[in-house]
Amino acid sequence: MSARGRLEARSEMRLSRSSSSLRGSVLSLLLLLAASAKAQQAPATRTDPTEANALNAVFANFGLNIWPPWFTGDPCAGAATDGTDISSNPNMNPGIKCDCSYQNNTVCHIVELRMYALNLVGRIPEALRNLTHLTNLNLNQNYLTGPIPSFLGELTALQYMGLAINALSGSIPKELGKLVNLISLGLSMNNLNGSLPPELGNMVKLEQLYIDSSGLSGPLPSSFSKLTSMKILWASDNDFTGRIPYYIGSLNKLEDLRLQGNSFDGPIPTTLSKIVRLTSLRIGDIVNGSSSLAFISNMTSLNVLILRNCRISDSLASVNFSQFTGLTLLDLSFNNITGQVPPQGLLSLDKLGYLFLGNNSLSGSLPSSIGPSLKSLDFSYNQLSGNFPSWVSQKSLQLNLLANNFLINTSSNSVFPSELGCLQLNTQCFLGSAQSESFAVDCGSNRSISDSEKSIYQPDAAALGAASYHITGASSWGVSNVGKFAESPNGSYIIYSSRQFQNTMDSELFQTARMSPSSLRYYGVGLANGNYTVTLQFAEFGYEQSQTWRSLGRRVFDIYVQGERKEQNFDIRKAAGGQSYTAVKKQYIVPVTRNFLEIHLFWAGKGTCCIPTQGYYGPTISALSVTSAYNVKQKNNKTGVFVGVVVCAAALGLVVLTGLYVWRQQSTKLSLEQQELYNIVGRPNVFSYKYGELKMATENFSSSNLLGEGGYGSVYKGTLTDGSVVAVKQLSETSHQGKKQFIAEIETISRVQHRNLVKLYGCCLEGNKPLLVYEYLENGSLDKALFGNGRLNLDWPTRFEICLGIARGLAYLHEESSIRVVHRDIKSSNVLIDTDLNPKISDFGLAKLYDDKKTHVSTKVAGTFGYLAPEYAMRGHMTEKVDVFAFGVVVLEIIAGRRNYDDKLDEDTAYLLEWVWQLYEENHPLDVSDPRLTEFNGDEVLRAIRVGLLCIQSSPRQRPPMSRVVSMLIGDIEVPEAVTKPSYVIEWQSNNRGSSSSEPRAEAMSASPFLSSVIDEGR
């Protein structure tokens, strides 16, 4: 019986016992009571029917009960309307919140919908479009698939929308730009594609944008400059390209900015210095361009600063770190930071707990004191030396000093293990004295394991942290880790699983693994020189094999062996066919030439950060083994073969012994030559070709394969047995400078890598004609493309990109690479063009390594007529400005489509530099442009002409550095209109006026000491 029925029954009993005189009044009272009761039972408000049906459809779409326990009937009742906060209450998930203030408090609209981390599977239901009053939609951490529906743009009341950590695909619909009231948008960790729609710039109230690990690409749209309310922008782990926009500096309310793991070009814009409210800044993995640290000087509110792998060329002294009083973590690793570690300021900060300065070019000694909070300090892979201060012995401090110039002797053994000396620069243990030919490690394990092939894997249970290393007592192998897991105070560097693994007979090997948030290295020490088989074994077990949000993680990293990148963006689960708990094996044949091997797993900002937990990312490895390739072959030989060889050797007798002796003598000589060259070069991966192999590839160096000739020798096209095409440069027997150039070329180009530098594959030392093997570029050299018989039709945009590419390559050589290189022979014939018409600087035979501390180097002049800077031609003074001058000449050649000197032209135009200056002074600079350029951007051509004129100034001080040249070419920096005419041009013109019109121009110009001093060394 209902409450109302019970009330009426009791009333009737009371009425039968009352007197008739009271009947009327009592009846009236009962009617009032009944009306009151009815009013109490009838709902005062109710959910809008359309929204109630939509909500029911949404729940039904995912198979959820529309009536969770806390609903009391109508959806907008109970906790949906009271003050209960559903955003963090696990008992109210799924949950809604309603606003019942509509139509005189009689109609409720659903304003919040929470379906968080429920592993919902399927598409976003279309019924959501009817919840038009939603201000908060939280669908984070599910397994939603399909595209983001464009109808979400109709929910214009939305202020918070979370679609992060799902499996959504497709592009972001431009209709989302209609959500002009949006404050927070979360699209992180999805499988989207395409670029960011410019329409998102209409979300002018947006304060938080999370698009990290979402699969997006292209440049950041210029319309984002309107997002001036932005406080948090996470955009790491995508494929965003182009420059980091200058307008980012105008978003001065930003507090947290993350731009790691993209394909941004440098330099980092200096306008970021305006964002003084930043508490967290993370930028990394810049593709090219050089940056300084100056832009951070005003960011004194920072708590976390990560500028890792950003191509920063600067010194720590350029920033007053003493003002960064709140800084807790600083990571400037993998840059080109030079100079000394400041004795005061940085290391003395009170709150600084983690400092990563590894893989730079720091020199000098360690400072005498550090701050009270420092827990982890990474100085590995620098040039530090000297004595150890007392603080290095603090027990609570993790300190990584591998690969520096410290001398570990008996006095320092009490602080560091003596084995640390085995991993210092140029002091490797057992150099020239082999101790072993193999080792194997079960990464993260605390016990030895024998695999199915009876190989013994040593334990690797050392408790490594954010800046630490371990070297085995026998000094046969070691391991080093650098990096702190973000947002994870207790991040684990060893992970475990008791599951059985597929695709292996050695499942036990994969039940532990080392994991690193930045850089994990394993070393082999004291190995016999020769080729080795390196086997790396992986298995992914952090991500579930199911349709849940925990399966959506991606682990991505790079693999280097002996300094050469073997895998880029390596994804263990992808390599296993999308499967977790499945073994993946990678094998590489690599040379060991200095008794030392390095395996490096490097996180380049790619992959998800927070699945299944915060701080779960970066390289991981389960096991590794290193075995002499010679021994591997010997294992497979049969005993009978060995016996047969012995019998044959006995029968052949003296003939075989004589042959072995001759072979041994030749091999020893070759080994010594290789060792000597390697000691100069420092690169173990350039001795990879046999003379017979290259002879066959070039058809015995046939003239039909000849690509070009010079003083160094000849260059041939070759086709290797695997079908790959290479360029083979052969040293001429008659070249007096050949061997020096050969060494210079390997020494330089094997230590620098850039997309605008030609790639060296290897070399061959056999015979009396050493060979260099390069990548083959089918379009040949720039001079042939511009001036040759089969010249290419290069339009202006292509020519401009060629200018820009050459400039970027030189900026890298001068300012960004780990060594400072002056090419000394920049000219159009030393720039090669690939299939996509990208330029690559080649021919490093005259290159010089340059000391930053020297203002110039005096050297014998070498180079090519027409490209030599005056100070170099006349006095032999060499700086990087020698290359800047030559670049200016090349730029003008590219614009004009002609060589810098052409005796077939009239006297007034034969010399390009003089002719350009004449046209520039006459205010007709564009007349110098190639007549074949039927269409071009006049402003861009004029800018390039002015840049060229700046580069060919008489004084090296007046020529801009190449990083500034790049900025001027792309328009980030204005090019001055007033350019001084060089003195040598004035001299040329004066000599020309003083000579008769019939006098040969070459004689008039030879009066210049600049031209008469030109030496063409080896060419």
Calculate the alpha carbon distances from 724 to 32, 61, 253, 719, 766 in Å: 99, 54, 53, 6, 22
Type of residue numbered 377: L
Classify burial at 452, counting beta carbons within 10 Å of its beta carbon; exposed 0-12, middle 13-18, buried 19 or more: exposed
Amino acid letter, residue 1015: I
**CA atoms within 13 A of residue 1019's CA, in its CB half-sphere:** 18
Write the CA distances from 161 to 58, 59, 68, 85, integer angstroms.
Answer: 16, 18, 23, 17
Long-range interactions of 691-700: CB distance < 8 A, separation 24+: 691/764, 691/766, 691/767, 691/771, 693/720, 693/721, 694/718, 694/728, 694/764, 694/771, 694/773, 696/721, 697/721, 697/726, 697/728, 698/728
> What is the DSSP pairing of strand 821-822 with strand 831-833?
unpaired
- 32's enclosing H/E stretch is helix 23-41
* Whether 585 contacts 264, CB under 8 Å: no
Catalytic status, residue 825: yes
Of residues 256, 825, 843, 930, which has the active-site annotation?
825
| Residues 677, 682, 686: CA angle, nearest 5 degrees | 65
Is position 860 annotated in a ligand binding site?
no
User: Would you say 326 and 302 are in contact if contact means Cβ atoms under 8 Å apart?
Assistant: yes
DSSP, collapsed to helix, strand or coil, labels residue 625 as strand
Would you state the structure tokens that stand for residue 25, as one six-digit string?
């009044």
Q: Which residues contact 802 (CB under 8 A, 6 or more apart)?
A: 782, 794, 831, 833, 837, 838, 839, 894
Put the strands of the sheet holding 477-482 in their side by side order.
Answer: 467-471, 477-482, 519-525, 596-602, 557-561, 564-570
Is 735 within 8 Å of 711 (Cβ atoms)? yes
CA angle, 235 then 238 then 243, to 5°:
75
C-alpha angle 656/662/666, rounded to 5°? 140
527: its two tokens: 């190995």
3-state secondary structure of 272: helix
Q: Which of 761, 765, 795, 757 is nearest to 775 (CA)?
A: 761
Q: Do strands 477-482 and 467-471 pair parallel, antiparallel, or not at all (unpaired)?
A: antiparallel
Instruction: Quote the DSSP letter at residue 687.
Output: B
User: Do the bridges between strand 46-47 and strand 596-602 make them parallel or antiparallel, or are there none, so unpaired?
Assistant: unpaired
Counting every residue, how long is the chain?
1019
Are the C-beta atoms of residues 791 and 783 closer than 8 Å to each other?
no
Q: How far is CA 452 from the centre of its chain?
A: 38
Q: What are phi and psi of 305, to 5 degrees?
A: -130, 115
Q: Dihedrals φ, ψ of 691, to 5°?
A: -60, -45
**Distance separating alpha carbons of residues 8 and 170, to the nearest angstrom:** 63
Q: What percent of the chain is helix, strand and coil (3-state, nearest 5)? A: 30, 25, 45
DSSP state of 909: T
- Which amino acids are annotated catalytic? 825
What residues are designated binding site for ATP?
Answer: 729
